[in-house]
A and B are shown apart, each in its own frame.
Chain A
């Protein structure tokens, strides 16, 4: 079993749609969690950190369920420039080990 797994995708949604991505992690010792977005042939960029209480940033909402070892990202009112690959990242807290999921590709269509 992979340490961090994500929805395989790709997700093709119309502009204005709401889309949710799921991520599961296998190591219960995980301490911090993040969502990154990566545009084609570019570096990953931090979208948001994920806190235990859940957090929201504009159209983006992240949730963490430690009991189920599950993280989610909800994007409301999708825009064309939301098209990217979304990476789930987990830090286990030792050796500065950030573990990246394989990513879920989103295409927002006009």
Chain B
């Protein structure tokens, strides 16, 4: 089955700890993205990557970091510098051409207390 997987589904952390969210795709997509969604709000872009070993900041990159060492994988680290990390985190991928849509993983709900 082709698709995007994110793990874990739920994650709980104490304030001050870094945490890494996993995103893997086997769709052979070039582009991958991370979004954040807060309750009742729209999606906001954190980082995106069009090719391996390259990534760009989105609208709310502060307090986050990413890597893209493999085409299939785009992990997101939420650092202790992120002021309000509790949110629903969504990973997506696309073919990389503007005409193509994005496909989303099931998301990770992060709660930091």
Contact = CB atoms under 8 A, between A and B. Distances in A.
B98 A93 contact: yes
Counting contact residues on chain A (CB < 8 A from B), the size range is 20 to 34
A31 B99 contact: yes
A87 B101 CA distance: 13
A43 B98 contact: no
Contacts, number: 52
A97 B33 CA distance: 10
Counting contact residues on chain B (CB < 8 A from A), the size range is 20 to 34
A32 B98 contact: yes
B42 A101 contact: yes
A65 B86 CA distance: 38
A44 B98 CA distance: 19
B42 A43 contact: no
Contacts of A100: 35, 42-43
B90 interface: yes
Interface of A: 31-32, 34, 41-46, 49, 87, 89, 91, 93, 95-98, 100-103
